[in-house]
Amino acid sequence: NAGVTQTPKFRVLKTGQSMTLLCAQDMNHEYMYWYRQDPGMGLRLIHYSVGEGTTAKGEVPDGYNVSRLKKQNFLLGLESAAPSQTSVYFCASSYRTGRLGTEAFFGQGTRLTVV
């Protein structure tokens, strides 16, 4: 019963390098999200997807791109990493949101350091 799986769990990048974070869920959820968690700021939404082939911007989308080619996967890309992108990244999925308080399920996080 995997739930939401994120890879990698840790990564160190040099400024200007690119990378992709992978999120996979096995619950057949329509909605998927990428958040970043920074000290004192809680979780902030980067991008989200309401279904296969769709993506939308969240609160802090600049410097990130996403793709949802398959329903179970949601990829987060950093094209040119900056130190300000040092953070812990969480992926989440849910059946729906905003309707009857649907619960979100979170991955264990990816700790990214940009030097």
Cβ closest to other proteins, residue 1 vs residue 14:
1
In angstroms, give the least distance from the CB of 17 to other proteins: 25
Cβ closest to other proteins, residue 41 vs residue 115:
41
In angstroms, give the least distance from the CB of 110 to other proteins: 10
**Cis preceding-peptide flag for 83 (omega within 30 of 0):** no
Could you give phi then psi for residue 83, rounded to 5 degrees? -55, -30
The beta-strand segments (E) located in 19-109 are 19-25, 31-38, 42-49, 56-57, 65-67, 73-78, 87-94, 105-106
In angstroms, give the least distance from the CB of 16 to other proteins: 29
Cβ closest to other proteins, residue 19 vs residue 43:
43
- Extract the tokens encoding 112: 């990214």
In angstroms, give the least distance from the CB of 87 to other proteins: 14
Tokens 């160190």 sit on residue: 12
DSSP label at residue 84: G
Cβ closest to other proteins, residue 34 vs residue 85:
34
Enumerate binding residues for other proteins (CB under 8 A).
4, 31, 33, 35, 40-45, 48, 50, 56, 58-59, 90, 92, 97-109
